[in-house]
Structure 1
Amino acid sequence: MVGPPFELRVQETHEGLQALVRALRAEEDGKELRRDLAKNMRAALRPAAAEAKSAIMAMSSSGPGVSPALRSSIAKKIRPEVKLGGRWSGARVKAFKTRNVRGFPNAPKRTNRPGGWRHPVFGDRDRWVTQHGKLRWFDDAFEGREHTYRQAVLDAMEAMARRIADRAR
């Protein structure tokens, strides 16, 4: 009997994920299996996204309390992202752009920057100020736990590989 077209042990590389995706495509119900794999990989990264959301909400806030709130708007845009196929395959936690928040679409990126961001003082384009947020709030949220989240994603991949291999037997 010929074994499955991939190793049962998924490698910690991009090639390991690609091999798993190819095996999913070969299955009759491959779309459903891919959906399950993506769901399980996102679930593995949810705690990391919660850490990042908690980190941005811990950033100090001062000012007149303009609406919509910047920190909560950024927190709403943080979520796990999984792509299986295409130019990029993988799983990550991403802070998406905040398009309609006070004319500040790059808020997640800028508040994480050590150099801060520049903006006009109360809309006066002749007076600008540099503002600093909580430095590296996004990056520091995962500090020391990268291995835990990577292992959780690999475990989801391993479970799917075992599920496909068990079918072949």
Structure 2
Amino acid sequence: MMPGQPPFEIRVETHEGLMSLTRALRAEEDGKELRKELARNMREALKPAAAEAKSAIMAMSSAGLGTAPALRSSIARKIRPEVKLGGRWTGARVKAFKTKNVRRFPNAPKRTNRPRGWRHLVYGRADSWVTQYGRNHWFDNSMDGIAANARAAVVDAMESMARRIAARAR
């Protein structure tokens, strides 16, 4: 170890870097507060990507029948940044959660993103099935344009926390 260097090294460029940062946070006295702050900063970094996905689903065309609850706005409300530090899965992502009570269609975010669309019964006709199409890859395409910026912002938040921990160790 070089003089003036912290007693540990934290690299945050990869998944292993996030794991080592999480371990270093656990070792600190106020690690719980530091973990909360890191998670908050990482979520803030992902908010522009979530906003891009929300605007993409709201741009999907609609038949405009005026039925409630509205499918597009219900899907948009369920798009959120998610950060987990530790456990079975560690990382940061933008996720479209299931829409539980929207027209008995819990998988709406996933199905509207598929090019194949989804099949459903026609209301009032017991044996008439139709295939309905959403906007192809609305979620995937919206993430393509902003993924590099979001990844860089999350890495910046992680490196900021790593520098903060390293400065304490000196």
Structure 1 length normalisation: TM-score?
A: 0.95
Is the Cα contact below 8 Å between 1:82 and 1:90 reproduced in 2? yes
Report if the CA contact (8 A) 1:41-1:157 is conserved: yes
Listed as ranges, the matches of 1:19-30 within 5 Å are: 19-30=20-31
Mapped partners of 2:60, 2:124: distance in 1: 23
Partner of 2:9: 6
Q: Which runs of 4+ in 1 moved over 4 A?
A: none
The alignment-based identity, stated in percent, is 72
Q: Which residue of 1 aligns with 2:156?
A: 155
Identify unmatched segments of 5+ residues in structure 2. Answer: none
Distance 2:130 2:138 in 1: 21
Equivalent position SS for 2:120: strand
Residue-by-residue CA offset, 1:14-35 (whole Å, 9 max, x unaligned): 1100000000000000000000
Q: For residue 104 of structure 1, what is the aligned residue in structure 2? A: 105
1:37 aligns to what?
A: 38
Partner residue, 2:94: 93
TM-superposition CA deviations, 1:89-130 (whole Å, max 9, x none)? 000000000000000000000000010001111153310000
RMSD: 1.2
Distance 1:142 1:92 in 2: 11
Provide the aligned length of Structure 1 versus Structure 2. Answer: 167
Shift of 1:87: 0.8
Q: CA deviation at 1:63?
A: 4.5
Letter in 2 for 1:149: A
Equivalence for 1:79: 80
Give the TM-score, by structure 2 length.
0.94
Following superposition, the deviation at residue 60 of structure 1 comes to 0.3
Q: Report the Cα distance in structure 2 between the residues aligned to 1:94 and 1:105, rounded to whole angstroms.
A: 14
125-134 or 100-109: which moved more? 125-134
